[in-house]
Amino acid sequence: MINKKNLWFLTLFSLILVLSVYYITMPSELLLNNGYLNNEPVVATNDNDDVEVSIEEAELLVALRVEAEEQTLSEIENLKSILTNVDSTIEEKNNAFEKMKAINMTKSEEEKLENLIKEKYNLQAFVKKDGDQIRVVVASENHDTTLANNIMRTIQENYDDKMYISIKFQK
């Protein structure tokens, strides 16, 4: 008999399979026309206006995000192996689970701070939080000390404890 878990698994697996087959069989000209395969910035134009909007993220921020994501994934994989290991004690499993929760909380705080900087200052930023230290890399050619000070204050407002915040401008 098929239970609910198996039914959900089969349903989601079928959906993923159909989408992947659709993506593979999609004509590559469609992707080339939209600029996705050429890594070109996405440009939106309107027939009524002569305004061009270009959306592009700094390569440095992408590299920092990828590096942080790889590090986080490797830590989570190590913790998952502890959780699924039969020989691990209950205390080791509890510690691994608590570390996983802390990693997820830190990641959500980093994303929240990145969105806050984007909303308030209209700047792309990368935030890395490690304990009470927060490192911010802002994609901007303008190295403004007042802007850095304002970003520091905005970040510190989200915490009750004193945080050690460093701002680096990079383009």
**Residue 127 in tokens:** 């935030």
CB neighbour class for 89 (10 Å; exposed up to 12, middle 13-18, buried from 19): exposed
Between 24 and 150, the more confident residue is 150
Question: Which residue blocks in 85-157 are alpha helix, DSSP H?
Answer: 90-121, 145-156
- In this prediction, residue 25 has a pLDDT band, given cuts at 50, 70 and 90, of confident
Question: Can you point out the beta strands (E) in the chain?
Answer: 42-45, 52-55, 125-130, 133-139, 164-170
> What was the pLDDT predicted at 54?
47
Q: Pick the closest to residue 52 from 40, 43, 61 (CA basis).
A: 43
Longest pairwise C-alpha distance within the chain: 67
Domains of the chain, by residue range, sit at: 1-54
Q: What is the pTM of this model?
A: 0.62
Distances (CA, A) of 31 to 27, 55, 57, 73, 151: 7, 18, 20, 29, 38
Between 3 and 136, the more confident residue is 136
Highest mean pLDDT: which range of 62-71, 79-88, 111-120: 111-120
Between 108 and 53, the more confident residue is 108
Least confident among 8-17, 24-33, 115-124:
24-33
Q: CA 58, CA 160: separation in Å to the nearest integer? A: 32
| Average of per-residue pLDDT values in the chain | 82
Asked if 170 contacts 58 with a C-beta cutoff of 8 angstroms, the reply is yes
- In this prediction, residue 1 has a pLDDT band, given cuts at 50, 70 and 90, of low
> What was the pLDDT predicted at 7?
84
Give every CB contact of residue 87 below 8 A, 6+ residues apart in sequence: none
Q: CA 67, CA 75: separation in Å to the nearest integer? A: 12
The residue assigned the tokens 């209209």 is: 122
> What was the pLDDT predicted at 119?
93
Q: What is the pLDDT of residues 104-149, one digit of tens each?
A: 999 999 999 999 999 999 889 999 999 899 999 998 888 888 999 9
